[in-house]
Structure 1
Amino acid sequence: IRYEWFHSDCLAAYYGVESWSEKHWEIVEAFARNAVRHGINALYTPLWTPPLDTEVGAERPTCQLLEIGYDPATGGYTFNFDRLGRFLEMGKRLGFRRFGMSHLFTQWGARFTPKIVCTLPDGSEVKRFGWHVSSEDPSYAEFLKALMPGLLAFLRGNGAGEMCFFSISDEPSMEHFDSYRRAVELVTPLLEGLPTIEALSNYDFYERGLVKHPVPANNHIEPFVGNVAGLWSYYCCGQQHLVPNRMIAMPSARNRIMGTLCYVYDLAGFLQWGFNFYYSQYSRRFIDPFACTDAGGAFPAGDPFIVYPGENGEPLDSIRHEVFADGLQDLRALRLLEKKIGRERTLAFLREGRGEAFSMTDYPRDAEFLNRLRPRIYAALTGA
Structure 2
Amino acid sequence: MTGPLRIGFIPLVDAAALIVAVDKGFTSAEGLDVTLVREVSWSNVRDKLNIGLFDAAHLLAPVAIASSLGLGHVKVPIAAPFNLGINGNAITVSPALHAALMEEIEGGDRFDPMVTAKALARVVTKRKRAGAEPLTFGMTFPFSTHNYQLRFWMAAAGVDPDEDVRLVVLPPPYMVDSLASGHVDAFCVGAPWNSVAVDLGIGHILHFVSDILVRAAEKVLAVRQIWADKNPETVAALVRAAVKAAEFIEQPENRAEAARILAQPERIGVDAEVIQRTLDGRLKISPDGALRESGRYLLVGREEAGCPDPVQAAWLYAQMVRWGQTALSPEALKTAMGVFRPDLYDAAVGRSGQSGQAAGGSFSAFTGPAFNPADVAGYLASFEVARRGR
Q: TM-score, normalised by structure 1?
A: 0.26
Q: Which structure has more helix as a fraction of its residues?
A: 2
Query: Structure 2 length normalisation: TM-score?
Result: 0.25
Structure with the larger RCO, 1 or 2 (CA within 8 Å, 6+ apart): 2
